[in-house]
Amino acid sequence: MESSTRISVAIRMRPILKEEADQGQTNSKVFIDSAEKAIVVSSTDQKQQKKFFFDSVFDEITSQDELFSNTQIPELLKKVVQGFNATIFAYGQTGSGKTYTMEGYEYSSLKPNIKESERQGIVPRSVKALFEEIKAMPNTMEYTVYCTYLQVYQEKIYDLLNPAQLKPGSPGLKMRWSKHDEFYVENLYVHPCYNATEVLTHFHAGLKNKIMASHNLNSASSRSHCILSLNIEGVDIEGGGIISSKLQLVDLAGSERASLTGNEGLALKESIEINKSLFTLRQVITTLAGSREGDSAFIPYRDSKLTSLLKQSIGGNSFCLMIACLCPCDQFYEENISTLAYATKASCISNDPVKNLDPKSKLVNELRKEIKGLQGELKEAFEQIGMLTELVNLDKTQILKMKDLEKPLLATAQGQRAKTTKNIDPIPGRIHSAMAVPRPIVPQQEPFSLSLEMLSENLHDSVKMIKELMSSNKKLKEIINELSNIKKGQDAEIAQLHAENQTLIEKLENVENEPVIVAKLQKEKQELQNRVAALERENKQAPVIFPIKERKTEWAWKSKRTIVRADSPGQFIDKDHYQKYQSVRPSTRVRVEKSAESARPPKSDMSPDNKVKEDALSALSVLYSKTRVRKYGTFF
């Protein structure tokens, strides 16, 4: 892990354009002090001056090559090849030269003119320099570069290398959260590239697909934030280690004022979305710059797709270079002050770059170091055993040699003893002293026997130590296996937690979309209520249809028939009795009513309004029949 490092900030001021000079635009408020690496800004009344200090500043005549060399971009690319992440992004208002700084191409009819020239910007120069750094690495390292290119347009992510996904009405790609504490884009085309030409081919193809527009301040204005990402993977052939890193080259859309750009309709909506995402970026920069070490302030990365994708670049584990672009004209004084203020805040943000090593390769390297140490200890133990064995064998041979030397010495001593006994008096004391002459040779055997015992003990201790080392080695291996199993279980648990977290995020997104659904349902409910009210008004205005009036002769015949069937005029006691009789006697009119009822829909299928209307028609029909009975046959 590298020590904490600040975000590097460079300021570049473009020259006054021909159109601006024709309009009489001048620069009398913003000046560059190259010696102090500062931007001097005069107040509107020219009485006060303010200085902004940065890592590097560049005036109007700075070339693309000078900008690339003097912003320490080559050093950043070396860090990328070594396994660190790096980000370079251009920031500023619309028309300040961000796209020219990053790309360097001329645009005609909103399309870039791709050609090799000194105008080439940071992106093509960085790609070429990156592959030069890869070539300079040792032959034991093998590198693969993967290229992606996307744009963030109206808070939707589009793949610039997938034309089929750029169709009108496309919902864009989804952004997910990974276990590596960063956001990534799903279903994004990833192209392996083996040289700078392949990367630039994809880059140029993506440039032709990005969204451009023209307005009062810029004839070819980027309407989206574009991010070219180069993912580098390096494999150590001999050691087996794996490193990975990412280089992000970002061309941000510029902040805009509708009063200056003259945007309307869709262009105005685009400006609103651009300003919204840049506002979130400024919030992130302000919060990070104002938070002290150890503070747990909330950083609103998730409020915008742009800041989510740049999470590790700003306040994360990446090296970062910000190039702030200024417009020299006095009419852009406020925009320049805002750009300088946020560039100053960005220079106060600290990142913690981390070398990206593959976790498995890191574990393998640790185990290899441990095995190497154990092998060294085992080798030392075997060397001690061999040395002790040699000493034991040497002592045995020396003892045998000494025994062989003792024999002639003993024989010589015995001969001398015999000669001496002949020449001396037989005095017992002298005889005993003379007999003791050869005895000093015998004690010389004791050190060898003692050293043999000591060597045997040392050998036994060494064998015991080796057994203990082997036992401890076995225990260490068991501990390593146990830790590996625990790590696997933790990884599985982490993956499950990430899946649950993703599910909760999706549910949260659905909950956020519920107000829209509720509003839609309420609108449909209101439309249905309006339709019901309209139908009720139509039903009230509809005329009441009475039964068709039958001919008088038929009713006379029916009345006569009814009277003839009756036993006597007094048979019908009252009105109810008559209606009961009418319900059982056959009648043409009853059959007509039944046929009409059979044509009606079942009551269970009727709405309450239709049921009321049906009951009203039935009551009118009964009343009409009673009137006809009274008219043609009076029974009560």
pLDDT tops 50 at residue 564 = no
Other beta carbons within 10 Å of 135: 9
- φ and ψ at residue 507, rounded to 5 degrees: -65, -40
User: What is the CATH number for 432?
Assistant: 1.10.287.1490
Specify if 517 maps to a domain.
Answer: no
Mean per-residue pLDDT, 402-409: 64
pLDDT tops 50 at residue 12 = yes
Name the average pLDDT for the chain: 77
pLDDT tops 70 at residue 427 = no
- Distances from the Cα of 21 to the Cα of 16, 62, 256, 326, 484, angstroms: 7, 20, 21, 16, 69
pLDDT tens digits, residue range 321-377?
999 999 988 888 888 999 999 999 999 999 999 888 776 666 777 777 888 888 888
95 labeled part of a ligand binding site: yes
pLDDT tens digits, residue range 528-542?
888 888 888 877 776
Same domain, residue pair 347 and 450: no
pLDDT at residue number 552: 43
Q: Distance between CA atoms of 363 and 375, rounded to whole angstroms? A: 18
Q: What is the 3-state secondary structure (H, E, C) of 42-60?
A: ECCCCCCEEEEECCEEECC
pLDDT at residue number 611: 64
345 labeled part of a ligand binding site: no
pLDDT at residue number 406: 59
93 labeled part of a ligand binding site: yes
104 labeled part of a ligand binding site: no
Q: Which two tokens stand for residue 526?
A: 């209101």
Same domain, residue pair 231 and 374: no
Same domain, residue pair 76 and 198: yes
Same domain, residue pair 475 and 563: no
Other beta carbons within 10 Å of 336: 26
pLDDT at residue number 369: 80
Q: Are 285 and 343 in contact (CB under 8 A)?
A: no
Same domain, residue pair 343 and 406: no
Q: Are 84 and 355 in contact (CB under 8 A)?
A: yes
Helix (H, G, I), strand (E, B) or coil at 543: coil
Same domain, residue pair 31 and 65: yes
- φ and ψ at residue 424, rounded to 5 degrees: -105, 160
Specify if 458 maps to a domain.
Answer: yes
pLDDT at residue number 149: 95
pLDDT tops 60 at residue 449 = no
99 labeled part of a ligand binding site: yes
* Residues ≥6 apart with Cβ < 8 Å to 319: 5, 76, 79, 84, 85, 86, 87, 351, 353
pLDDT at residue number 633: 47
User: What is the CATH number for 145?
Assistant: 3.40.850.10
Of 95-109, 116-130, 263-277, the least confident: 263-277
pLDDT tops 50 at residue 516 = yes
Specify if 524 maps to a domain.
Answer: no
Specify if 611 maps to a domain.
Answer: yes
Mean per-residue pLDDT, 469-473: 77
345 or 403, which is more confident: 345
pLDDT band at 608 (very low <50, low <70, confident <90, very high): low
Mean per-residue pLDDT, 448-460: 59
pLDDT tens digits, residue range 242-294?
889 999 999 998 877 765 666 666 767 777 888 888 899 999 999 998 876 55
pLDDT at residue number 549: 46
Q: Distance between CA atoms of 509 and 511, rounded to whole angstroms? A: 5
Specify if 87 maps to a domain.
Answer: yes
Same domain, residue pair 343 and 369: no
Question: pTM for the complete prediction?
Answer: 0.59
Q: Distance between CA atoms of 358 and 355, rounded to whole angstroms? A: 10
Specify if 545 maps to a domain.
Answer: no
588 labeled part of a ligand binding site: no
pLDDT tops 80 at residue 556 = no
pLDDT tops 70 at residue 222 = yes
Same domain, residue pair 342 and 424: no
pLDDT tens digits, residue range 581-599?
555 554 444 444 444 444 4
Pairing of strands 318-326, 85-91: parallel
Same domain, residue pair 324 and 374: no
* Residues ≥6 apart with Cβ < 8 Å to 29: 41, 42, 44, 330, 333, 336
96 labeled part of a ligand binding site: yes
- In this structure, which amino acid lies at residue 226? C
pLDDT at residue number 583: 54
Mean per-residue pLDDT, 401-422: 63
- In this structure, which amino acid lies at residue 558? K
104 φ/ψ sector (left φ>0, alpha ψ -120 to 50, else beta) = left
Instruction: Specify the number of domains making up the chain.
Output: 3
Q: Are 243 and 355 in contact (CB under 8 A)?
A: yes
520 labeled part of a ligand binding site: no
CA torsion sign, 528 to 534 to 536 to 542? negative
Same domain, residue pair 610 and 463: no
Domain region containing 431? 361-490
pLDDT tops 80 at residue 472 = no
